[in-house]
Structure formats: C-alpha cells, structure tokens
Amino acid sequence: QQQVKQSPQSLIVQKGGISIINCAYENTAFDYFPWYQQFPGKGPALLIAIRPDVSEKKEGRFTISFNKSAKQFSLHIMDSQPGDSATYFCAASNREYGNKLVFGAGTILRVKS
C-alpha cells in the first residue's frame, strides 16, 4: 500500500515533442506529490510538486496532472529538449508519516535531437 508505481521505465521522445510519465498510488493518506529530475552522478532536483486539492499545476514547460479519484498523477514535459534527458522520479509523502518520500522506480527519458 506504500508503493508508488511509475511508468514507463524508459521513454524516447523527439525534440519538441511532449514527454509523459505516469504514476499511481494506493495510499489515500498521501498528501504531497513531488517530481524529481536526476542526472547521472548527481542528486535528485525538485522539479514541481502538487497537493491533492489541485488537479493541475504548471511551471514553465512542466505540468503535473492529478486525478484524485483514480489515484494517479502524471508529469508532462512540453517542447522536450535534449537537455531534459535524465531520470525522472515521482514520489509521494504524508506529514503523519514524517514526510518520508515513497519513490517510484524512475523513468529514463531520452530526447532525440
């Protein structure tokens, strides 16, 4: 019940295209859903985050869509660029559980120029 399932495992997108990564969770107590971007040999960097009371949040080319009833959320990267090539992790947490992040397995994104 603590799992966050992420798909796809890897993704290849043409430059300028839209990259879409999906995540699903079971625990309805989760109240915070961040996305992290990680380059090889580096720590994860926060991209964007959302709470369950909002269905969509946009920051620049990055958008989170959140479907509370389906217990799913997704990351959309518009106008994908080669510099976006990285591993993306979705995560979920809850204040009552000490804000411990439960991570998805990760998606390796490659943007072809």
Partner 1 sequence: GAVVSQHPSRVICKSGTSVKIECRSLDFQATTMFWYRQFPKKSLMLMATSNEGSKATYEQGVEKDKFLINHASLTLSTLTVTSAHPEDSSFYICSARPLTSDTQYFGPGTRLTVL
Per CB under 8 A, 35 contacts partner 1: no
Per CB under 8 A, 103 contacts partner 1: yes
C-alpha dihedral sign at 96, 67, 52, 36 = positive
Of 44 and 73, nearer to partner 1 (C-beta) is 44
- The pair phi, psi for residue 54, each rounded to 5°, is -125, 135
Interface mask toward partner 1 for 72-91; x: CB under 8 A: -----------------x--
Q: Which residues pair with 3 in a beta bridge?
A: none
Of 45 and 54, nearer to partner 1 (C-beta) is 45
Task: By CB under 8 A, name the one of 49, 52, 65, 81 that touches partner 1.
Answer: 49
Per CB under 8 A, 46 contacts partner 1: yes
Of 62 and 89, nearer to partner 1 (C-beta) is 89
State the chain's maximal CA–CA distance in angstroms.
Answer: 44
Q: E strands within the chain?
A: 4-7, 10-14, 19-25, 33-38, 45-50, 56-59, 62-67, 72-77, 86-92, 102-103, 107-112
Task: By CB under 8 A, name the one of 19, 23, 44, 75 that touches partner 1.
Answer: 44
